[in-house]
Amino acid sequence: MSNYSRRKFLKTGGALLAASSLPISMVEMAFGKDSEQNFTFAYISDSHITQIKGNKFVRNWDRGLIRAVAEANLLDPRPDFVFYGGDIAQLGKPEEIDHGLEILGALRGDIHYVMGEHDYYVDLGDYWRKQLGPDHYSFDHKGVHFVVLNSILTHEEWMHRKWDTGMDRMKQMARLDNPNGQPFMVGDKQRSWLKADLGTVSKDTPVVVFSHSPLQKIYKGWNFWTDDAEQVQALLKPFDKVTVLYGHVHQIQTNQIGNISFHAAMATAWPWPYPSTYTQQESYLPKLTVDMNRADPFFERDATGWQFINLHSGNVDVHYTLPDNEARVVAFDEKLGHPVDTKYQAVADRTSPQKHY
């Protein structure tokens, strides 16, 4: 962390000034210049608090979360609430969840949570729900309808198979490239709930959905994937403006599918390299409209940093401030109808994907 300088983030033309160098996201819901309805919320994700033994925890992951909480507390103007994007814990142990919640307890203001697979698969979410309540819910805030989904479920028969221990099940899901893992899904029950929930919302209300896994299909081997993504997207299709914010991928991702903008939040724990499907078109669904360039996946803080998300009437501009990387902006292009990486679109300007998978 020593090579971090504190960076000031200034939203041009706006009143928002925040200083930060760690991966939290600040989201502004903008309804018009100086509208009283405008508000911001912060987004922190993927802390992966890891117990070593007893009260010893992996220090790096603790520090990432502690610092994100401290910086969220410094935001000015105050965010209306903070959203936590899942994977508080590494192996879902009560000790890890408790330790993470203790750190998050220092946050000022309300905090909403979504379930991550690392919180879930040891006890199918029992401890998380006991501490935090339901794993899917919705709420309205200043004219915006927010929906929280548990997108990391999988087939009932797999979840309830006879496992020697819950930890065996967790370890199947906590690994990348594991042929014994299973694809994530929202599932029939929650999709019925979502349909009923959205049935009460007018089509011109901005809708923001929080999930842990992307509600789109990016890379199955790493579960950067939700198996019933298309069915969830279909339920969101009738709305004018929909934004899906997710964690899980520990990297920058931006996409637009029809009326839905997708943005990933960076992790406080570590960055994942970009998966190989970014260069393997055959399993690359959907084609990303914004082909983000990458830097060095083996730089421990690459793809962590500060991102500012500005939602104007549902279209999102994202400003990234990354260590050892130029700041850049992904902005919604009215003419093209999707976000454009404004600075890095020229292929010659991009850092090539590294092929070492």
Closest CB to Fe ion among residues 145, 248: 248
Taking the complex as a whole, how short is the minimal distance between the CB of residue 176 and Fe ion, in angstroms?
Answer: 10
Taking the complex as a whole, how short is the minimal distance between the CB of residue 116 and Fe ion, in angstroms?
Answer: 4
Taking the complex as a whole, how short is the minimal distance between the CB of residue 117 and Fe ion, in angstroms?
Answer: 5
Torsions phi, psi for 3 (to 5 deg) = -85, 5
Closest CB to Fe ion among residues 28, 123: 123
Taking the complex as a whole, how short is the minimal distance between the CB of residue 332 and Fe ion, in angstroms?
Answer: 27
User: Does the footprint of Fe ion cover residue 119 (CB under 5 A)?
Assistant: no
Taking the complex as a whole, how short is the minimal distance between the CB of residue 119 and Fe ion, in angstroms?
Answer: 9
Closest CB to Fe ion among residues 46, 227: 46
Closest CB to Fe ion among residues 99, 248: 248
Q: What angle do CA 173, 247, 85 make, to 5 degrees?
A: 100
DSSP-derived pairing of the beta strands 315-321 and 306-312: antiparallel
- Residue-wise DSSP of 165-230: -HHHHHHHHSSSS-TT----B--HHHHHHHHHHHTTS-TTS-EEEEESS-SS-SBGGGTB--TTHH
Taking the complex as a whole, how short is the minimal distance between the CB of residue 99 and Fe ion, in angstroms?
Answer: 16
Closest CB to Fe ion among residues 248, 263: 248
- E strands, 85-235, are 110-113, 137-141, 144-148, 207-211
Residues 62-91 that bind Fe ion (CB under 5 A): 87
- Residue entry with tokens 């109808």: 337
Closest CB to Fe ion among residues 247, 314: 247
Q: Which tokens go with 228?
A: 């019933």
Q: Is the link from the previous residue into 79 a cis peptide, with omega within 30 of 0?
A: no
| Per-residue binding letters, 6-45, with Fe ion (x by CB under 5 A) | ----------------------------------------
Q: Among 46-54, 96-104, 270-278, 304-312, which window interacts with Fe ion (CB under 5 A)?
A: 46-54
User: Does the footprint of Fe ion cover residue 46 (CB under 5 A)?
Assistant: yes
Length of the chain: 357
Read off the DSSP letter of residue 256.
E
Residues 242-281 that bind Fe ion (CB under 5 A): 248
The residue from 23, 100, 116, 271 that contacts Fe ion (CB under 5 A) is 116
The Cα diameter of the chain in Å comes to 58
- The closest of 245, 201, 180 to 41, measured between CA atoms, is 245
Closest CB to Fe ion among residues 48, 241: 48
Taking the complex as a whole, how short is the minimal distance between the CB of residue 320 and Fe ion, in angstroms?
Answer: 19
- Give the interface size with Fe ion as a residue count (CB under 5 A): 5
Taking the complex as a whole, how short is the minimal distance between the CB of residue 46 and Fe ion, in angstroms?
Answer: 4
Report the helix count and the strand count for the chain, using DSSP H and E: 8, 18
Closest CB to Fe ion among residues 225, 306: 225
Type of residue found at 303: A
Closest CB to Fe ion among residues 117, 123: 117
The answer to whether the beta carbons of residues 204 and 144 sit under 8 Å apart is no
- E strands, the chain, are 7-10, 17-20, 24-30, 39-44, 51-53, 56-57, 81-84, 110-113, 137-141, 144-148, 207-211, 242-246, 254-257, 260-264, 306-312, 315-321, 328-333, 338-341
Taking the complex as a whole, how short is the minimal distance between the CB of residue 120 and Fe ion, in angstroms?
Answer: 9
User: Does the footprint of Fe ion cover residue 96 (CB under 5 A)?
Assistant: no
- Which residues of the chain form contacts with Fe ion (CB under 5 A)? 46, 87, 116-117, 248
